[in-house]
Chains A and B, each alone.
Chain A
Amino acid sequence: MSEVVATNETIMVVGGGISGLTAALEAAECGKQVLLIEKAPTVGGRVGQLYKYFPKLCFPTCGLEIQYRRLKANKNIRLMTMTEVAGISGEAGNYSVDLKVAPRYVNENCTACGDCANAVEAEVDDAHNYNMKKTKAAYLPHNMAYPQRYVIDPSIIGTADADKAKAACKVGAVDLEMQEENLSVTVGSVIWATGWKPYDAAKIQPYGYDRYDNVITNVEFERMMDPKGPTGGKIQRADGTTPKNIAFIQCAGSRDRNHLKHCSRICCMASLKQTTYVAEQLGDECKSTIYYIDIRAIDRIDDFHQRVKQDPNVSFVKSKVANIVGGSDGNVVLRGVDTEGYNRYANEHDLVVLATGMQSTVPTGIFPEGTVINEHGFIDLDESNGGIFGAGCSSDALDVNRAAQNATAAALRAIQVVNQVAGTEG
C-alpha cells in the first residue's frame, strides 16, 4: 500500500455510502484528488440495502449504478475498501491520518467468477441482509458490489475451506497470506460521511423485538422485498405465512430521551413507502396501520403522504405505542391510547415493523481536539473543525436527497481548504 497517493491537496472522504460517493465524485469532477475510504468490502452503503426510494418509488441501485459509472471513469479518485480511519491529527491543509486496512484475502486479479464461493462450504452471517440469512464464507457482498471482487471471511482462514477457495481460483486471486496493514497518509481536508446505523431495536424493551418473532425493523422489512433477500422477495412472518394486518410503529427509538433524542427524519416517509410495498404485493389482502406522533412528510413530498392516506387499506393512529404483548398464533397485541380523543386500544397484528431511527456512526476519540461533535453524535458545521466536514448522516439525520445535497456542499467546503493549500483560492 506504499503507493497510496495522497498529499495535502488531497481530499479524504471517509465512507462510501451515497453521501461519501457523492462528495468524492463531486470533488473529483471539479478536478480535485480524492482518497475514498470505505470500511466494508464494497461501496454503496445503506442505500444498497433498500428496495425503493420515497417519494418516487424508484430503485436505489439505479442511482448507485450512475455513481459507479462516474467512479469507474474518474482517475482522480483512489478507492480503498476494508479500510478504517484509526486517527486524525493536524490541521486544515495538513492532516495526518492513520489507516487500518483489513485483509480481503482476494486480490485485484479477481474476476468475480464465483468459483471460490462454489468451492467453500462454510457459511457466515450475511451482513447485506442484516444477518437474516447466511452467505458462503467466500462471497461477493451483493450483485451491486463495487469493487466487483469477492471477499473471504476471516473466520475460515487457516481452515481447509480457505485452501479450497484458493485451489478453486484459476486466476490466482486468492491470497491467504494477506495481513492487516497500517499506514499513514497526509491529506488536506477530510469529509466524514460514515452514515448511520439502525438503532438497536432490542433496547426498546416494551416492544419486545428480542422476544417476538413477528416484531421486525424497517430495515429488515426492506430486505424482504429483495428477490435475492432472506424471504425471496416475499413479505412474510417468521413462520413463512403471509401477514394480513401489519403495524408500523414510528419513533421506535427516535424522539425519545431513553434512546435517540433526535427525530430521525426519514422514518415517517419510510413507513409510508413501506405501506406501498404491502399494497403492491398483497393488495386488499393486507391492512397497514401506522402508529405515529407527527407525520413528518416535510415539504413537497407531503403529496406522497396524502396519496397513502387515500389508500383504504392504510390507517393512521396518533399514538406512541405503549407496549407490545404476545398474542395467539405468533401474533402480538399493541397496547396504547389513540390520543385523538383518547381511545384505548389493544390491537392485534400479525406483523409489526418498528420504524427504528438513525444512529450516527461518528466515532469519538479519533478527531483532533476541538472538533465539534454534538450530543446527538453528529458533526456540526463549526469553524473550530478546521478542514473536517461532516457530510450526509454524519451531519444530521437526513434523507437521501438532503444527504446528497449536503455532501455536495461538504465537497465545496473541502475544495476551499485544498485550494488554499494550492494557493488558488480567495
Chain B
Amino acid sequence: MADMKIGAYICKGCGIEDRLDVGQLVNTAKRDGKAAIGKDHEMLCNAEGVKMIQDDITNEGVTHVVVVGCSRRAKTEAFSFEGVHINRTNIREGVIWVRPDTDEARETTQEMADDYVRMGCAEAKFSKVPASSGEQGLTRSLLVVGGGLAGLTATIEGAKTGYSVELVNASGELGGSSAREYKRIPHKNGLQGPVDNDIDQLIAAVNDNARITVHLNTTITKTDGAPGRFSVELSDGKSLTVGAIVQATGSKPYDMANLPEFSPENPDVMDQGQFEAMVKANNGAIKKSDGSDARNVVFVQCAGQRSEKPGHLPYCSGHCCMTSIKQAHYVKAAGGDATVIFDDLRTPGATGEDFYRSGQEAGVAFSKGEVASVKAAGGALEVGYTDKILAEESTIKADIVVLATGQIPNSGPNPYLPIELAQAKEDKDDALVAKIEAELEVQPQPILNLNYRQGTDLPHLKHGFNDSHFICFPYETRRTGIYAAGPVRRPMDDQQAVEDATGAVLKAIQACENSALGRAAHPRSGDLSFPSFRKDGCTQCKRCTVECPFGAINEDEQGYPQYNEGRCRRCGTCMGACPVRVISFENYSIDTVGQQLKAVDIPDEFDEKPRILVLACENDAYPALDMAGMNRTEYSAFARVVPVRCLGSVNVIWITDALNSGYDGIILLGCQKGDNYQCHFVKGSEMAHIRMSKVDETLKTLNLEKERVGTYEVAITDVDKIPQIINDMEKTIGEIGMSPFKF
C-alpha cells in the first residue's frame, strides 16, 4: 500500500453547504481520514468537478477517491473513474435529507456527516482496486445436455452465434419426445390448428453443422472446474473442455398407473404420449388397441395433477390443455368425435387462445367437469364425470380415453436433501426426517456429476424442477455457468421450451465471456473483486464451503477451501461465515467494514448521544434508505449506516467489535428469507439470521441487553418502515440506557 493516496472531495451542492460546515468536513477527511488531498467543490458532479478529481488522479497520483456528496446510487455515470478505488460517502440522502433543518439539529447532523467522512476514508484505506485474475482465456464452447427440442434448439442457436457446441444425449436418437409427435402445436397463428412436425429439419441442421459435435448414447461421468474452464468426462471415455453448460434433460410423463380409478390397465386408456405415438404410427388414423377404428375419444385433463392427493402432482403441467386440443384435432380430422373434459382450460396468450378456438372450430366438444372414473363397458369405455355446467353426474362413452397426466422433470438428485436431512435430525423433526428419507430413496441418477462440494447436480426449487425462483431473472441457477432450459426448469410447452433454450444459450455464452475477463455473473454483474483466504490462519472448518449459496467453493485433500472465480457470485457469504476471518475481497473485507465502524466517533456515555450501527443490505435496504431521504423522511441522527453486499457477508466479529467499542444498538437489515426468499444471493439473508441468533450468547457474556441487536427482514419498498426501525432502536436505547462500553 505504499502508493496509496486518498483524495477526499466534498460536494457543496444540493444544499449541503447550507446545512453543513464543509470546511470542517474537509479537515475531518485530512485529519481523521488521512486523506492526502481534501477539497470541496460547488457541484462535484458537473464537468468541472469531475475534471478536478480526474486531474488529481492523473497529476497527483490519487489512487483512492472518496466522493462525499450524494448516494452511490446517484450520479454513477459522473463518478466512474478508471483504475482507482471509488468510495461514495453519502451525506445527501443519508444525512441532510433525513435530518430536519433546524438549529438544534445542526450539531448532530454535522456529527453524522463527519462520521461518514471518517468512515468513507477508512473504507478507502483498506480497499484495493480489484485486479482481474487474468488466468482464463475465452472458451468459446458450450455443452448441451439432452437432445430433445430444447437441447437441439440450444445447440443450433449456440452454433449460430459462433460457438462450438458439444451435444450429449443419453439415447441413440435425437429429438426426444418431439420426435415422437405426429404433429406439433404451432408457435404462432394458433388458429391454423396443428402443423407438421419439423423436428427432423432441426435434427438435420444440428447434424450438418460443423460447429456441433453430437455424442449419442453418452452420459456424463464427471464435470469439474468452473465457467470458462469446465472439464467434462463422458461415458465413452472422451473428455471435453467447455465454457458453460445448458441442461435440457426434459421431462417424463407422470405414470398413469398411479390413477387406478381411470383403469390404466385397459389398453384403450392412454396417456398423451401413448396416444401421440399411436396416431403417428397410424399416420393419422385413430385406432383402438384391437386395431379397429376409434370413433369417440375423451380427453381427461389434469389427470393426477393440480391435486393434493398423495402420489399426485400438485402443480399444473402447463402444456396439457394445448396438447389435448392438438390431439382432439387428430380425432376430428379422422372423422371421429372428441370431447375434452377440463376444469380450467389453460390456453393463455394470443397463440393459446387462438389454438383453443381452432379446436372449437374443428368441432371438438369442451366440457367443464371433473372425471371420477373410467370403466370398461360393453366393448367400450365409460367415463363417469360431474358436468359442472349442467351440474349433474354424467357418463360419456368412449373408444379411447386419453389421460393428460402431466410432466415430471428429468432432474438430477437434489444436492441439498442430505443437508436438509441432517438439519431435520438435529431439530428432531421426525415427520420431516421420514419425508426426506422417503425422497432420498427415490432420487434419480446424477446427470451432470459435478465434482462440487455441494453435490452432483443443479439444486431443485420445487417439485423437482431446477429453477432459481427468480421472477425477474429466470436463468439464475445456483450453479454459475450452468443453465437449465425446457421442462426440466419448469412445466412448459414446446413453444416456451424453444424460447427458454434460446435464452439459456445467451446466458451460457455470457458466462463464457464473463469468466474470460474474471467478471462476476448476476447480480453483481461485472464485479472483478474475488475472495481469497489466508491459508496459514485457516482452520479447515469448512463453513465457507458449506455455506456458499452457489456451491462455488470446493475443498482440497487437506480440507482447505478452493475458490473458483468463475463460480463465485461475490456475495461474501463465505467471508461472513469464516470464524477466523481469513477470507476477504480486495475491496470488501473484514477491515473495510470493521474499520468504518471503528472510525465513528463514539461520544462519552454522559453525552446522551448513542450510536446505532446499521448494517444494511445494499440491494434492498440501502436503496430504501435512499428513498426515505428522497421523501425527506427523518430518522435518528445517531444512526451510522454501512452498506453490505449481502447480510450473509456480515461477520459476527463486526457485531462483537461494535458492542465492545461502545455502540448502543446494532441493526441488521436484510432481505426476506425462506421459500419466497428475496435475498439476491438466495441463502445469504438466511445464513445471517442463523448466525445472529447466536449473538445472544455474546450479549450475555458482555452483560448487555439483547434488545441492542436486531435483525430484520425488509424490502426495498420499506421506505417508511426502515426509518421507523431505526427510530425505535433509539427509543429502546433511551429506555434501557447507554452502553457501558464507551471509552
Decide: A30 near B506, CB < 8 A? Known: A299-B492, A300-B316. yes
Give A51 to B716 CA distance when docked, in angstroms.
11
Give the Cβ gap from A317 to chain B, nearest Cβ, in Å. 13
* Residue B183 lies at the interface, judged by CB distance under 8 Å to chain A: no
Give A113 to B680 CA distance when docked, in angstroms.
30
B314/A405 in contact, CB under 8 A: no
Q: Tell which of B77, B345, B353 has the most Cβ of chain A within 10 Å.
A: B353
B315/A299 in contact, CB under 8 A: yes
Choose among A111, A299, A425 the residue that contacts B45 (Cβ–Cβ < 8 A): A111
* Residue B719 lies at the interface, judged by CB distance under 8 Å to chain A: yes
Give the Cβ gap from A162 to chain B, nearest Cβ, in Å. 21
* Residue A189 lies at the interface, judged by CB distance under 8 Å to chain B: no
* Residue A401 lies at the interface, judged by CB distance under 8 Å to chain B: yes
B491/A26 in contact, CB under 8 A: no
B76/A378 in contact, CB under 8 A: no
Give A416 to B159 CA distance when docked, in angstroms.
10
B510/A404 in contact, CB under 8 A: no
B510/A26 in contact, CB under 8 A: yes
Contact digits for A297-313, partner B, Cβ 8 Å, 1 yes 0 no? 11110110010000000
A171/B46 in contact, CB under 8 A: yes
Give the Cβ gap from B675 to chain A, nearest Cβ, in Å. 9
Choose among A60, A298, A406, A416 the residue that contacts B499 (Cβ–Cβ < 8 A): A406
Choose among B348, B474, B631, B676 the residue that contacts A265 (Cβ–Cβ < 8 A): B348
> Which A residues touch B70, using CB under 8 A?
111
Choose among B188, B471, B507 the residue that contacts A26 (Cβ–Cβ < 8 A): B507
Decide: A426 near B525, CB < 8 A? Known: A405-B474, A409-B499. no
Choose among A62, A111, A412, A424 the residue that contacts B502 (Cβ–Cβ < 8 A): A412
Q: Tell which of A51, A255, A263, A380 has the most Cβ of chain B within 10 Å.
A: A263
A148/B715 in contact, CB under 8 A: no
* Residue A203 lies at the interface, judged by CB distance under 8 Å to chain B: no
Give the Cβ gap from B329 to chain A, nearest Cβ, in Å. 19
Question: Which positions 120-151 of chain A face chain B at CB distance < 8 Å?
Answer: 140, 143-144, 148
Interface-side segment among A63-71, A92-100, A279-287: A63-71
> Which B residues touch A22, using CB under 8 A?
472
> Which A residues touch B189, using CB under 8 A?
374, 380
Interface-side segment among A83-91, A237-245, A327-335, A392-400: A392-400
A63/B388 in contact, CB under 8 A: no
> Which A residues touch B623, using CB under 8 A?
61, 65
> Which A residues touch B349, using CB under 8 A?
262-263, 265, 396-398
Choose among B491, B509, B719 the residue that contacts A300 (Cβ–Cβ < 8 A): B491
Choose among A72, A73, A295, A342 the residue that contacts B344 (Cβ–Cβ < 8 A): A295
Decide: A56 near B469, CB < 8 A? Known: A72-B77, A265-B348, A406-B503. yes
Contact digits for B471-493, partner A, Cβ 8 Å, 1 yes 0 no? 11111000000000000001110
> Which A residues touch B535, using CB under 8 A?
none
* Residue B513 lies at the interface, judged by CB distance under 8 Å to chain A: yes
Give A60 to B473 CA distance when docked, in angstroms.
12
A298/B318 in contact, CB under 8 A: yes
* Residue B257 lies at the interface, judged by CB distance under 8 Å to chain A: no
> Which A residues touch B500, using CB under 8 A?
405, 409
For B675, the closest partner residue in chain A by CB is A56
For B15, the closest partner residue in chain A by CB is A113
17 contacts between A and B (CB under 8 A): A29-B526, A56-B678, A62-B715, A65-B620, A65-B716, A66-B523, A109-B45, A143-B630, A171-B43, A261-B350, A297-B316, A341-B391, A381-B187, A408-B502, A408-B503, A416-B160, A426-B160
For A340, the closest partner residue in chain B by CB is B388
Give A97 to B87 CA distance when docked, in angstroms.
40
Give A26 to B508 CA distance when docked, in angstroms.
11
Give A169 to B693 CA distance when docked, in angstroms.
49
Choose among B162, B350, B472, B514 the residue that contacts A262 (Cβ–Cβ < 8 A): B350
Contact digits for A205-245, partner B, Cβ 8 Å, 1 yes 0 no? 00000000000000000000001100000000000000000
Label chain B's interface by main secondary structure. Answer: loop
A170/B13 in contact, CB under 8 A: yes
* Residue A164 lies at the interface, judged by CB distance under 8 Å to chain B: no
* Residue A46 lies at the interface, judged by CB distance under 8 Å to chain B: no
Q: Tell which of B14, B349, B490 has the most Cβ of chain A within 10 Å.
A: B349
Q: Which 9 A-B pairs have the closest CB atoms?
A: A63-B472, A341-B391, A408-B503, A299-B318, A409-B502, A262-B350, A412-B506, A265-B348, A302-B316
Q: How many residues of A contact B (CB 8 A)?
A: 87
Contact digits for B56-98, partner A, Cβ 8 Å, 1 yes 0 no? 0000000000000010011111000000000000000000000
* Residue B10 lies at the interface, judged by CB distance under 8 Å to chain A: no
Contact digits for A349-383, partner B, Cβ 8 Å, 1 yes 0 no? 00000000000000000000000001010101110
> Which B residues touch A171, using CB under 8 A?
13-14, 43, 46
A402/B496 in contact, CB under 8 A: yes
A57/B676 in contact, CB under 8 A: yes
* Residue B696 lies at the interface, judged by CB distance under 8 Å to chain A: no
Question: Which positions 445-469 of chain B face chain A at CB distance < 8 Å?
Answer: 462-463, 465, 469
Question: Which positions 521-551 of chain B face chain A at CB distance < 8 Å?
Answer: 522-523, 525-526
Choose among A111, A114, A303 the residue that contacts B13 (Cβ–Cβ < 8 A): A111
Give A265 to B352 CA distance when docked, in angstroms.
9
* Residue A411 lies at the interface, judged by CB distance under 8 Å to chain B: yes
Give the Cβ gap from B346 to chain A, nearest Cβ, in Å. 5
Task: Give chain B's interface residue range (CB within 8 Å of chain A).
Answer: 35 or more
Contact digits for A16-44, partner B, Cβ 8 Å, 1 yes 0 no? 00100010011001110000000000000
For A297, the closest partner residue in chain B by CB is B316
Give the Cβ gap from A84 to chain B, nearest Cβ, in Å. 23
Give A378 to B318 CA distance when docked, in angstroms.
22
Please give the residue numbers on chain B whose beta carbons come within 8 Å of chain A beta carbons, in ascending order.
13-15, 43, 45-46, 70, 73-77, 157, 159-162, 187-189, 209, 211, 306, 308, 314-318, 344-354, 368, 388-391, 462-463, 465, 469-475, 490-492, 496, 499-500, 502-503, 505-507, 509-510, 513-514, 522-523, 525-526, 619-620, 623, 627, 630-631, 671-672, 676, 678, 680, 715-717, 719-720
B43/A111 in contact, CB under 8 A: yes
> Which B residues touch A419, using CB under 8 A?
161-162
B345/A415 in contact, CB under 8 A: no
Give the Cβ gap from A350 to chain B, nearest Cβ, in Å. 27
Choose among B211, B475, B514, B680 the residue that contacts A29 (Cβ–Cβ < 8 A): B514
Choose among A111, A400, A425 the residue that contacts B162 (Cβ–Cβ < 8 A): A425
Decide: A227 near B719, CB < 8 A? Known: A63-B471, A302-B315. yes
> Which B residues touch A374, using CB under 8 A?
188-189, 350
A303/B315 in contact, CB under 8 A: yes
* Residue A178 lies at the interface, judged by CB distance under 8 Å to chain B: no
B315/A61 in contact, CB under 8 A: no
> Which A residues touch B672, using CB under 8 A?
58
Decide: A59 near B715, CB < 8 A? Known: A300-B490, A426-B162. yes
* Residue A259 lies at the interface, judged by CB distance under 8 Å to chain B: no
B506/A26 in contact, CB under 8 A: yes
* Residue A277 lies at the interface, judged by CB distance under 8 Å to chain B: no
B350/A397 in contact, CB under 8 A: yes
A73/B526 in contact, CB under 8 A: yes
> Which B residues touch A66, using CB under 8 A?
472-473, 522-523, 619, 680
Give A382 to B716 CA distance when docked, in angstroms.
40
For B721, the closest partner residue in chain A by CB is A227
Give A347 to B123 CA distance when docked, in angstroms.
63
Give the Cβ gap from A107 to chain B, nearest Cβ, in Å. 10
A380/B161 in contact, CB under 8 A: no
B471/A56 in contact, CB under 8 A: yes
Give A227 to B715 CA distance when docked, in angstroms.
14
A53/B463 in contact, CB under 8 A: no
Give A228 to B630 CA distance when docked, in angstroms.
12
Give the Cβ gap from A264 to chain B, nearest Cβ, in Å. 8
Give A140 to B368 CA distance when docked, in angstroms.
50
For A402, the closest partner residue in chain B by CB is B496
A296/B506 in contact, CB under 8 A: no
Give A113 to B71 CA distance when docked, in angstroms.
12
* Residue A339 lies at the interface, judged by CB distance under 8 Å to chain B: yes
* Residue A320 lies at the interface, judged by CB distance under 8 Å to chain B: no
Q: Tell which of A62, A318, A396, A402 has the most Cβ of chain B within 10 Å.
A: A62
